[in-house]
Structure 1
Amino acid sequence: MTVATRAMTPSTTGTHPELLEPTALTGLLDVPALAGGAGGPDVRIWTLDTATVPSAELDEARAWFDAEEQEQASAYVRAELRHAYEVAHAAARRVLGAVTGQDPEAVTWGRHDCPGCGEPHGRPRVEGADVEFSLAHTPGLVLVAVADHPVGVDVERHPDPAELTGLLGVLHPDEVSEVEQASDPADAVRRFTRAWTRTEAYLKGVGIGLGRDPQTDYLGTAAIPEREIDGWLVRDVRAPEGFGAAVATRPR
């Protein structure tokens, strides 16, 4: 199969780029600190360990959800996926409420138009506020990224090495080769997670998500914290052991 590709180039923003450092949220009910621009000069990133959220806090935060969030949460069959979704949306409401000067329950979600079809199911947005954000969650970890320009963020738990072969089909063919050339199973898992989180963050930032074949875009598997692709800067975000994360931004 021939795949038309977009290739990344090494970033020229710094000689020795580092992993972006997110700010850890202390909980769902505490107003997050907004000063300092944690993450990078053009994006702020908050993270939350889902296991640290007390049940009483999440119970209170569920009252912030709109009807669509309540319906989506109830649709999850697996409790760990439902928990991650609820913590993520509560965290997003807390962060975006603080950023826009609203109570969490007053935040109204919307969508930008999709760049592929023009329908309103592109990047998420906060209605009535000039702010861009992206949300990512997996059992164990949540990331919320906020910027004044388009942004996409992703976080993934490292897959089981035994399952890796069945997952490689989502990557660009060159990334598949790089994973297959890994020195050991642990290295292969890290390479896969780097490529996949970078791709997801980029496609979420573009606003088309998996509406475009993820095999199209080459983001690479090497431990190079920054890369550029089609005007976007894609950077790796520091995450706990066993997770990978990335953020993509594009100045207006």
Structure 2
Amino acid sequence: MSNGPQCQLTGNDSAHVWLVSLDLAADRITALRENLSPDEQSRCSRFVIQKVSDRFIAARGQLREILASYLSCAPTEIAFRYGQHGKPLLSHPPQTLLQFNLSHSGEYALVAVTMHKAIGIDIEQLRRGRPLLKLAERFFSARETAELRNLPEQLQEDAFYACWTRKEAYLKAIGTGLATPLNAFDVTLLPGVPPSLAAQRLAPEETGRWQLVDIAVPGGYRGALAACREMKTLLVRRWPLA
């Protein structure tokens, strides 16, 4: 059983998002590493840069703590399996209906948790000076690129990262990764326009099945969530609980 806090979703139409800090004290990193599987410990030992290794431990270790708080088990009891394109899924405890997704960038991670439905989350650290229009031409759809180009320059960065995180969250939710090209579907990106999946050219029937939501994150970052079917309740909190 978990000795940590116990968390519970209020229903199948609710989701929780946890904001997680990855820059932790050395003793906390040591404790979190003890919760990792042998495979995860092997992966973190292969990182050359210590900060990268510590952030990996912080992300995976706290992911285990969060999932354990819903499943009433110890973080070490949790086991993962991976989908065809690498999406992590729970394999133990068995027969759980809990769905989750993890994203990390810079000093933060986001963990999304829900029941039954597919879910995806993305967080990106804003990096100044990137050639945003060139990146959009390479990765975004023609519609998205045109909308971005037509915005005033001072609005382009926020719109670019809004588009990027919404697209990544959707791809992570459906679990195909880049097997689904980024330019095969459109998301909204213009200021004042609610987040949504505007078009899916490979599967047009998908458009109405997905809900996209922007997630409030610290300054210098952008976050988004994608969920299959509408969420009536979305709770965003920091981990660990005080």
* Corresponding residue number in structure 2 for 1:125: 90
Letter in 2 for 1:173: A
Matched, 1:95 2:66: yes
Query: CA distance change for structure 1 residues 89 and 142 in 2, over 3 Å: closer, same or farther?
Result: same
Partner Cα distance (1:208, 1:246) in 2:
18
1:192 pairs, out of 160, 166, 172, with 160
Matched, 1:206 2:177: no
* Corresponding residue number in structure 2 for 1:153: 121
Aligned residue for 2:109, secondary structure, equals strand
User: After TM superposition, which residue ranges in structure 1, 4 or more long, deviate above 4 angstroms?
Assistant: none
Partner Cα distance (1:30, 1:140) in 2:
26
Partner Cα distance (2:133, 2:54) in 1:
28
Query: CA distance change for structure 1 residues 125 and 214 in 2, over 3 Å: closer, same or farther?
Result: farther
Aligned residue for 1:159, secondary structure, equals coil
Indicate conservation of the 8 Å contact 2:142/2:183, yes or no.
Answer: yes
**TM-score, normalised by the number of residues in structure 2:** 0.78
Partner Cα distance (1:92, 1:112) in 2:
18
**TM-score, normalised by the number of residues in structure 1:** 0.76
Query: CA distance change for structure 1 residues 113 and 131 in 2, over 3 Å: closer, same or farther?
Result: farther
Query: CA distance change for structure 1 residues 112 and 87 in 2, over 3 Å: closer, same or farther?
Result: same
What percentage of residue pairs aligned between the two structures are identical?
21
Partner Cα distance (2:129, 2:77) in 1:
43
Partner Cα distance (2:141, 2:4) in 1:
40
Letter in 2 for 1:244: R
Q: How far has the Cα of 1:101 moved from its partner?
A: 0.8
Alignment of 1:142-181 (within 5 A): 142-148=109-115, 149-168=117-136, 169-181=138-150
Matched, 1:241 2:240: no
1:29-52 CA distance string (max 9 Å, x none): 993562576xx952111111223x
Matched, 1:135 2:102: yes
Letter in 2 for 1:210: L
Letter in 2 for 1:96: L
Aligned residue for 2:90, secondary structure, equals strand
1:92-113 CA distance string (max 9 Å, x none): 1000011111111111111345
Q: How far has the Cα of 1:202 moved from its partner?
A: 0.4
1:114-172 CA distance string (max 9 Å, x none): 5xxxxxx4452343122100000011111000011111111001122344345322222
CA RMSD of superposed structures (Å): 2.6
Partner Cα distance (2:210, 2:49) in 1:
35
Partner Cα distance (2:194, 2:14) in 1:
16
* Corresponding residue number in structure 1 for 2:196: 227
Alignment of 1:4-43 (within 5 A): 31-32=4-5, 34=7, 42-43=14-15
Query: CA distance change for structure 1 residues 65 and 123 in 2, over 3 Å: closer, same or farther?
Result: closer
Gapped runs of 5+ residues in structure 1?
1-28, 115-120
* Corresponding residue number in structure 1 for 2:43: 72
Query: CA distance change for structure 1 residues 225 and 63 in 2, over 3 Å: closer, same or farther?
Result: farther
Matched, 1:49 2:21: yes
Bigger proportion of residues as strand = 2
